[in-house]
Amino acid sequence: MKFLWGSATSAYQIEGNNTGADWWEWDRGKSGRASFFWERWEEVIDLLHHLGHNAFRMSIEWSRIFPNVQESNRDAIEKYRRIIQSLLERNIEPIITLHHFTNPIWFSKMGGWLYRENIPHFIRFVESVIPILDGVKFIITINEPNVYAFRSYMEGYWPPQEKSIRKTLRVLSSMKEAHVKAYRLLKSRTSASISIAQNMMIFEPAWTYSPIHWILTIMSDYLFNWYFPDRIGKYMDFLGINYYSRGFVRWLGNIEYRGEERNCMGWEIYPQGLYRVIKKAHARYGKPIMITENGICTDNDFQRIKFLKEHVEQVMRAREEGIPVIGYLYWSLLDNYEWAEGFEPRFGLVEVDYEKQKYRIRRSALFYSEIIETDGLAAL
Ligand code: BGC
């Protein structure tokens, strides 16, 4: 099978007007029309085609399919069917995520992922979209359970802003159970390869001469990177990795970023880390690896070009060593709504002019097209 070269997105961050999602309620509709994907998806698919991407990761917004607990919305299902079909018609492999941080408001009101009794609601959603997954070869059940649980239940930064280790572990445990159930269901009804997208970071001790910091680093690495995928072990056909940065561990859950090169949110740019996580994940699970996200927010597009070159280089290094890396998806195709940070951070290969409501292709997008055309060689 040919290598998947493409880009990644999530529904809430690009579609606009997801009024049934808990994030909409929480930030009072700050995401607004987002990157207009819900209205302008055809144009976006034209862009993908024009840029030569052969894969596109997108998510299905649960709250559009189930705006209320009782019944599903046929129009929304039909629209997602058309989007997926038109990707397939253009020979762009759709990589479909089923949960990317947002929940329907009604689900959150029930206590969301804190209660395993709520899992059947998620499974009912998965079941209702199976008919439109015809021809889809890759499905991601849940995006970054580690980041979701940490941000929302431990750090208290994202809704519902809880700070509890006990709740964090409960959420992870329900998500694990939901993943396994969804995996089994999808395996019995589709021929897709299924996984999660796991955010992986490189951790180093903040003080190398302090034994306690070495221990904290090993613990951070285990809890953040491996705790969840270890638990779903045999229920993944490949492993999706989202890689962004390296953190120096000061305490559990407290890291600092170092280094000269940073993205617009202060995260260190550390390309070798991508090779290191690929290598470790492959040694641990022996499964094919897909880079389901890797990207930079910056106002300097030359920095994005450099980022792409240096990160793809690391992917090529792993491929050359014979590690089965099956794809690389840049985050993100479009500038979009970066959660609590809003619209300021620009991750896109394509600039979104929110005022004039226009898409503009950046130079980095053209450089990435060259990478795709040469199957990675343009980055070396
Ligand atoms: C998430 C994306 C987010 C990106 C950049 C990932 O953790 O999956 O939704 O936009 O990081 O912060």
338: confidence class by pLDDT, cuts 50, 70, 90:
very high
Q: Mean pLDDT, the chain, as a whole number?
A: 98
Question: CA-based Rg of the chain, rounded to a whole angstrom?
Answer: 19
- pLDDT at residue 61, as a whole number: 99
Q: What is the pLDDT of residues 226-254, one digit of tens each?
A: 999 999 999 999 999 999 999 999 999 99
74-89 and 37-51 helices cross at what angle (nearest 10)? 10
List the beta bridge partners of residue 351. 360
1: confidence class by pLDDT, cuts 50, 70, 90:
confident
Q: What is the pLDDT of residues 302-322, one digit of tens each?
A: 999 999 999 999 999 999 999
Q: What is the pLDDT of residues 218-232, one digit of tens each?
A: 999 999 999 999 999
Q: What is the pLDDT of residues 35-69, one digit of tens each?
A: 999 999 999 999 999 999 999 999 999 999 999 99
- pLDDT at residue 9, as a whole number: 99
The stretch 1-25 carries a mean pLDDT of 98
pTM: 0.98
Residue 194's alpha-carbon distances to 124, 270, 290, 340, 351, in angstroms, are: 18, 28, 11, 29, 31
Tell whether the model's pLDDT for residue 18 goes beyond 90: yes
Q: Which atom of ligand 1 is nearest to the CA of 143?
A: 8
Ligand 1 center–CA 112 separation, angstroms: 21
- Is 9 near ligand 1, meaning CB less than 6 Å away? no
Tell whether the model's pLDDT for residue 106 goes beyond 90: yes
- Is 144 near ligand 1, meaning CB less than 6 Å away? yes
Closest protein CA for atom 9 of ligand 1: 10
Closest protein CA for atom 10 of ligand 1: 338
Q: What is the pLDDT of residues 180-196, one digit of tens each?
A: 999 999 999 999 999 99
- Is 242 near ligand 1, meaning CB less than 6 Å away? yes
Most informative mutation of 338, 349, 352 for ligand 1 (most atoms within 8 A of CB): 338
Q: What is the pLDDT of residues 81-101, one digit of tens each?
A: 999 999 999 999 999 999 999
Domain 4-379 is of which CATH architecture? Answer: Alpha-Beta Barrel (3.20)
Contact 225, 184 (CB under 8 A): no
* Domain residue ranges of the chain, discontinuous segments joined by +: 4-379
**Ramachandran region of residue 311, left (φ > 0), alpha (ψ -120 to 50) or beta?**
alpha
Residue 37's alpha-carbon distances to 64, 101, 193, 241, 352, in angstroms, are: 14, 18, 26, 24, 11
The stretch 347-369 carries a mean pLDDT of 98
